[in-house]
């Protein structure tokens, strides 16, 4: 389904590079958190406790390393998308308007009030970025639009998951692991540092010591989207797109948290690794 194929056999020669970038991503995320964690903006979590947010910025150094590594291999657009997600997400974390939430909230502010929110800027930036990735993996045409939809949709899902400690990392990490064996080498390497960083931040996120914020959650969801659209598998595209449609509808008209709490296996998975107070 995708036009571009991975350079060489899937994985094989790229496994060592993936492992190295994953480990670097974890180390850089922890180091960055130690250096800047105290300077990050604080926001009350769902329990009302102020904790550092926008910790997705800790994923940026790993993204820059991946960008440098893939710059000559044509994969820069993939790394660039994850970096864009982190940066525009951070802008929304720091300067975002709490009164405008979700797609309807931001579009409504623009249409009814003529007001451009940071969320609107994020939607436009990530919409353009996802379209660029779509063209990269599928060429010009309808397939590029389909890829852009899947990628942007999963990026948004990452944000929708990030309302309980550890949820965004777990609910994007599992599909990412399932997709990795089928992803192109370039996409896997582009995502490796971010996956390592998210794995390293999970301990702190699950124990409600930090919040990923839009900056981290958008990267977590974006990783799933990148792996899906680079797989070249029609089944992966269809399943990933169907999940986007279904969960976005749940979030708009009900609540993902309500869905998780009402489905036993989701409730169990959601509780894994979480401190008891992080209900």
pLDDT of residue 1: 47
Domain spans of the chain, in order of start: 12-97+123-271
Distance CA 195, CA 21 (A): 9
For residue range 198-218, list pLDDT tens digits in order: 999 999 999 999 999 999 999
From first to last of its 279 residues, the chain has per-residue pLDDT tens of 444 544 333 555 688 889 999 999 999 999 999 999 889 999 988 888 899 999 999 999 999 999 999 887 768 899 999 999 999 999 888 887 655 455 555 555 555 655 567 777 888 899 999 999 999 998 888 899 999 999 999 999 999 999 999 999 999 999 999 999 999 999 999 999 999 999 999 999 999 999 999 999 999 999 999 999 998 788 889 999 999 999 999 998 889 999 999 999 999 999 998 876 544
Residue with tokens 């690794």: 273
Of 64, 86, 78, residue with least CA distance to 133: 78
In the block, tokens 């044509």 appear at 74
Residue 5: its pLDDT value, please? 44
pLDDT at 37: 87
d(CA 271, CA 164): 10
Helices (H), 139-230: 142-161, 167-179, 185-206, 213-230
Read off the pLDDT of residues 149-198 as tens digits, 9 standing for 90 and up.
999 999 999 999 999 999 999 999 999 999 999 999 999 999 999 999 99
Give the phi and the psi of residue 251 in degrees, each rounded to 5: -65, -35
Question: Residue 278: what pLDDT?
Answer: 45
Q: Sign (positive/negative) of CA torsion 132, 134, 136, 142?
A: negative
DSSP 77-145: HHHHHHHHHHHHHHHHHHH--TT--HHHHHHHHHHHH----HHHHHHHHHHHHHHHHHHHHH-SSHHHH
Task: Report the alpha-carbon distance of residue 158 to residue 223 in Å, rounded.
Answer: 9
φ and ψ of 242, to 5 deg: -65, -40
Is the whole-model pTM more than 0.85? yes
Q: How many Å separate Cα 244 from the centre of its chain?
A: 13
């Amino acid at each position: 389904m995708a036009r571009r194929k991975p350079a060489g056999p899937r994985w094989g020669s790229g496994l060592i590079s993936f492992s190295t970038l994953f480990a670097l991503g974890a180390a850089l995320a922890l180091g960055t958190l130690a250096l800047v964690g105290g300077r990050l903006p604080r926001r009350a979590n769902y329990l009302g406790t102020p904790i550092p947010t926008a910790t997705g910025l800790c994923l940026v150094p790993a993204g820059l390393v991946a960008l440098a590594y893939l710059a000559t291999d044509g994969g820069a657009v993939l790394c660039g998308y994850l970096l864009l997600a982190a940066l525009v997400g951070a802008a929304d974390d720091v300067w975002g308007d709490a009164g405008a939430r979700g797609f309807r909230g931001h579009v409504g502010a623009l249409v009814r009030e003529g007001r451009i929110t940071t969320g609107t800027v994020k939607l436009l930036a990530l919409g353009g970025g996802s379209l660029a990735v779509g063209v990269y993996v599928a060429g010009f045409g309808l397939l590029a639009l389909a890829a852009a939809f899947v990628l942007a949709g999963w990026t948004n899902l990452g944000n929708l998951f990030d309302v309980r400690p550890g949820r965004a990392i777990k609910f994007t990490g599992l599909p990412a692991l399932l997709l990795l064996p089928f992803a192109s080498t370039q996409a896997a390497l582009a995502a490796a540092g971010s996956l390592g960083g998210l794995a390293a931040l999970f301990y702190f996120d699950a124990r409600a010591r930090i919040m990923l914020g839009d900056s981290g959650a958008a990267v977590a969801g974006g990783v799933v989207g990148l792996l899906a659209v680079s797989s070249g598998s029609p089944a992966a595209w269809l399943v990933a797109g169907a999940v986007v449609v279904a969960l976005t509808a749940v979030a708009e008209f009900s609540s993902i948290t309500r869905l998780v709490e009402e489905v036993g296996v989701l409730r169990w998975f959601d509780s894994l690794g979480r401190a008891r107070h992080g209900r």
